[in-house]
């Protein structure tokens, strides 16, 4: 059963009251949970509560806390996916899988070869956030992924918000991602941005921008040409495998 996000303010002594409309609907109407059943709640401090339902009324669910502990269902990296917006189904898949992999933020990027207009990306951000929230519940993450407003690639290249920036640029014949990652030293709290292009790849203009950006690691995902959504999963999985233990968080 998925767990449900609450506020620590919803817990008083050993009683947790669920009033959030979405959580209430899912538990009471979709799952049809009954008095005496056990569910799991998680608050913003990543405290996990095992609770037993004591009462379900028309607007709230009252539960009794029978166990609580610090959840470790989170990624020990401050990993950000900076990704050119894809067509609907592919983009929905990317949001879902990035959430399952523990990414902290997704920053949609409008690139030269992007098939989605900025206005459409802005409209869809609410839907992407909802997909991320549902995926976080299903994979029992103890934190949320945040979908941020879309920006331009220029904004990302010129940004100083990240300690490490890694761009997957399939046409530049650069360093394999594995070799790059194994030479990186990551400190706890370092913010790592993984940059992925659109279906048609980065434009010549954008590749030239990457060439002149000395603070960005330009890497290859191998000799095969991957679909954009496959490239996202491959790059993130490589980063997590090579770097997560280096932070000392897990």
Q: If pLDDT is split at 50, 70 and 90, which confidence band does 173 have?
A: low
| Residue 174 predicted with pLDDT over 80 | no
Confidence of residue 248 (pLDDT cuts 50, 70, 90): very low
| Cβ neighbours for 31, distance < 8 A, ≥ 6 positions apart | 1
* In the chain, where the domains are located: 4-70, 78-247
Q: What CA–CA distance (Å, rounded) separates 37 from 35? A: 6
For residue 171, the model assigns a pLDDT of 73
What top-level class would CATH report for the domain 4-70?
mainly beta
User: Residue 26's pLDDT is what?
Assistant: 93
Q: Is the pLDDT of residue 63 over 90?
A: yes
Burial state string for 107-125 with b = 16 or more CB within 10 A and e = fewer than 16? bbbbbeebebeeeebeebb
Q: Give which of 114, 40, 54, 46 is closest to 83, Cα–Cα.
A: 114
Q: Which residues of 229-244 are buried (b: 16+ CB within 10 A; e: fewer)?
A: bbbbbbbbebbbebbb
3-state secondary structure of 108: strand
Q: What is the pLDDT of residues 79-115, one digit of tens each?
A: 999 999 999 999 999 999 999 999 999 999 999 999 8
Reduce the DSSP state of residue 11 to 3 states and report it.
Answer: strand
In tens, the pLDDT along 180-203 reads 999 998 998 999 999 999 988 999
Query: Please, are residues 136 and 99 in contact by the beta-carbon 8 Å criterion?
Result: yes
Q: At what angle do helices 118-138 and 88-100 cross, to 10 degrees?
A: 40
Q: Which residue has the tokens 């523990």?
A: 102
| Residue 180 vs residue 245, higher pLDDT | 180
Nearest CA-CA partner of 164 in 194, 136, 134, 140 = 194
Q: Does domain 78-247 have CATH number 3.40.50.2000?
A: no
pLDDT at 153: 95
In the predicted model, is pLDDT for residue 249 greater than 70?
A: no
| 238 Cβ contact list (under 8 Å, min separation 6) | 177, 178, 181, 221
Q: Give one word for 175, left, alpha or beta, with left for phi > 0 and alpha for psi -120 to 50.
A: beta
Confidence (pTM): 0.90
The answer to whether 218 touches 210, Cβ cutoff 8 Å, is yes
Determine the pLDDT at residue 230: 96
């Amino acid at each position: 059963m998925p767990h449900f996000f609450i506020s620590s303010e919803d817990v008083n002594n050993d009683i947790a009251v669920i009033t959030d409309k979405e959580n209430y609907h899912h538990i009471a109407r979709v799952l049809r949970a009954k008095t005496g059943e056990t569910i799991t709640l998680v608050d913003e401090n990543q405290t996990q509560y095992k609770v037993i339902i004591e009462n379900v009324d028309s607007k709230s669910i009252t539960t009794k806390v029978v166990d609580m502990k610090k959840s470790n269902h989170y990624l020990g990296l401050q990993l950000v996916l900076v990704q050119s917006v894809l067509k609907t189904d592919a983009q929905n898949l990317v949001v879902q899988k990035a959430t399952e992999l523990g990414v902290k933020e997704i920053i949609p990027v409008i690139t030269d070869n992007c098939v989605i207009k900025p206005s459409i990306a802005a409209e869809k951000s609410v839907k992407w956030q909802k997909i991320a929230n549902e995926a976080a519940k299903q994979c029992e993450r103890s934190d949320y992924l945040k979908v941020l407003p879309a920006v331009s690639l220029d904004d990302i290249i010129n940004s100083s918000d990240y300690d490490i920036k890694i761009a997957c640029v399939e046409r530049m014949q650069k360093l394999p991602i594995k070799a790059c990652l194994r030479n990186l030293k990551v400190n706890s709290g370092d913010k790592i941005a993984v940059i992925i292009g659109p279906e048609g790849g980065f434009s010549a203009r954008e590749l030239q921008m990457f060439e002149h950006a000395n603070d960005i690691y330009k890497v290859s995902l191998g000799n095969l040409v991957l679909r954009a959504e496959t490239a996202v999963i491959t790059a993130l999985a490589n980063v997590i495998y090579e770097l997560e233990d280096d932070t000392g968080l897990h």
